[in-house]
Structure 1
């Protein structure tokens, strides 16, 4: 593994998104690992003065440990591009597309990556009629970490039609994505960039102790069992690795990404569907990318340094292209 020269890294975390607390856990974990490796670290809890504070710190590179809007949707990426500061993870265009589940489908499905059907609906219309046959899933178009996800079934807590006073994502979001519910198993695959290109690491199966793999199940210790590597037929493992790598390449992800799947094991290969690709997956003690990296022989600190090294490599190559084009 390539040794990373000592850097001044600004770890950008926190902010005001729904995933603020998770971001703080990710960011502090990253900062601790970098300090242990001898790097100079500036920890920055993002506020509205973020540009001025980054400029004042004048780091060599920013480690973007933000989750959700505005750290994962292209806003912070565009700011850092204008400032000319290298940063980890995906760039502006990729972030805009990948956080939007409908745009992601438009980018992936024509290239053979299977994703569920469905459509975007106005939340107010849900109280008149169901947008799809039950069971179906409702989720925000551009949130991560299963924030605001509801599963609508015939035998669940939602009458038909859904009452306007029922608790659910329709009370928080004006529009939602409605998709058919895919029974079966929850799988995920991490991809890491390196000098030789992206590499899919492994497949993890997620088994929530109750309900489904929602925000609480992801980030509450003991609520979800991680089976890594997942006990799957070889062809399903191979497809997960293939689709995750395809998604990473097609979307233009950088550094690391994580692609989530549902697999209906009664349907074989035809039952595997990509749900979304996360451009800034979590780096908390319960997070999946560090777990898969460790399985492949990469420690948490190695993973963090590899992500930083990829950011510097990309920025250097882009600057070189700019000089040649100029």
Structure 2
């Protein structure tokens, strides 16, 4: 039994565009924790209030929320005020990582490799943006995940439609240099001196299109774990992923997405601070490669739950 954790809330659902994925993640986490004797209870933040969350008197919570209001520092800040230990990164790291523009600014300041970009607030900025980053380019909604609001512009006539599609999801659109290469993802566990990267996964999607459908609802995408790269490149990619994680002050767990170009150079795309935990998710896949079951992974993450703001004694 795992009674030392007390009453555990699994926060899932939420109000973001990723609600459907979060429901799958939270359900899986809850079942896994219960299988290990944890007194786990699902709590849908999209349907219940913060007052109800406080009234539940959870001893700690596992955040299985994705996207806005769950991965962007808002629920983390509320949990800090309530004094409830929680999994994953704190409010600041969560907020930075959820904003792809701010993430890039932090990484560039830290000297980390990430594609060229322009943050767009209107259609009138498109010409100057493309002059800076070139074509093909990627248009992204900076505050969404799960590949929502991501559109590739191959030719100049694609740019405006791509921008308008991304703008449906966000007030700001991130126009980013497109790097041709292999798509890698690196799961990371721990914080500060305990940070470690799990085996790298290479994602091979149909026609190179790793979109929402291919990510969660088909079996056509192939995942190679560990990725078939040299030991030297694997070490380099893992080291950069850990540096990227630490630069944002992440902790608990996360997942860095990277493109490996034809010359073997890694380019950081984004950091996920509350990655998916569905049957198609990548962190459980990487954990399995080192002999850590899904339930063991959930328990490991839960054991690290804590408040982060003003709790120096727990560091």
TM-score, normalising length: structure 2: 0.91
Is 1:208–1:217's contact at 8 Å kept on the other side of the alignment? yes
| Partner Cα separation in structure 1 for residue 102 and residue 126 of structure 2 | 26
Is 2:90–2:308's contact at 8 Å kept on the other side of the alignment? no
| Partner Cα separation in structure 2 for residue 240 and residue 177 of structure 1 | 24
CA separation of 1:281/1:126 partners in 2, compared to 1, >3 Å: closer, same or farther?
A: same
Is 1:11–1:41's contact at 8 Å kept on the other side of the alignment? yes
Q: Is 2:309 the partner of 1:308? A: no
Could you tell me which of 264, 275, 282 is aligned with 2:276? 282
CA separation of 1:45/1:121 partners in 2, compared to 1, >3 Å: closer, same or farther?
A: same
Shift of 1:130: 6.2
Q: Report SS of the residue matched to 1:247.
A: helix
CA separation of 1:42/1:319 partners in 2, compared to 1, >3 Å: closer, same or farther?
A: farther
Q: Report SS of the residue matched to 2:114.
A: coil
Shift of 1:223: 2.9
| Partner Cα separation in structure 1 for residue 300 and residue 223 of structure 2 | 24
| Partner Cα separation in structure 2 for residue 232 and residue 222 of structure 1 | 23
Q: Report SS of the residue matched to 1:5.
A: helix
Could you list the structure 1 runs, at least 4 aligned residues long, displaced by more than 4 angstroms after superposition. Answer: 126-130, 314-317
| Partner Cα separation in structure 1 for residue 20 and residue 73 of structure 2 | 20
Shift of 1:320: 3.0
Is 1:130–1:161's contact at 8 Å kept on the other side of the alignment? no
| Partner Cα separation in structure 1 for residue 52 and residue 214 of structure 2 | 34
**Aligned residue number for residue 123 of structure 2:** 124
**Aligned residue number for residue 255 of structure 1:** 252
| Partner Cα separation in structure 2 for residue 149 and residue 138 of structure 1 | 6
**Aligned residue number for residue 227 of structure 2:** 230
CA separation of 1:130/1:98 partners in 2, compared to 1, >3 Å: closer, same or farther?
A: closer
CA separation of 1:12/1:224 partners in 2, compared to 1, >3 Å: closer, same or farther?
A: same
Indicate the RMSD between aligned Cα atoms, in angstroms.
2.5
User: Structure 1, residues 211-268: CA drift from partner, whole Å, max 9, x if none?
Assistant: 4212222112313100000101222211111011112222111110100001112x22
User: Structure 1, residues 77-107: CA drift from partner, whole Å, max 9, x if none?
Assistant: 1101000100111110111111111211222
Is 2:12–2:23's contact at 8 Å kept on the other side of the alignment? yes
Q: Report SS of the residue matched to 1:238.
A: helix
Is 1:4–1:305's contact at 8 Å kept on the other side of the alignment? no
For residues 1-326 of structure 1, the aligned pairs below 5 Å read 5-47=4-46, 49-125=48-124, 131=130, 132-154=133-155, 159=157, 162=160, 168-193=165-190, 197-265=194-262, 267-268=263-264, 271-312=265-306, 318=311, 320=313
Is 2:135–2:153's contact at 8 Å kept on the other side of the alignment? yes
Task: Name stretches of at least 5 consecutive residues in structure 2 with no aligned partner.
Answer: none
Q: Report SS of the residue matched to 1:44.
A: strand
| Partner Cα separation in structure 2 for residue 133 and residue 194 of structure 1 | 37
TM-score, normalising length: structure 1: 0.88
| Partner Cα separation in structure 1 for residue 169 and residue 309 of structure 2 | 42
- Aligned pairs, how many? 312
Shift of 1:169: 1.5
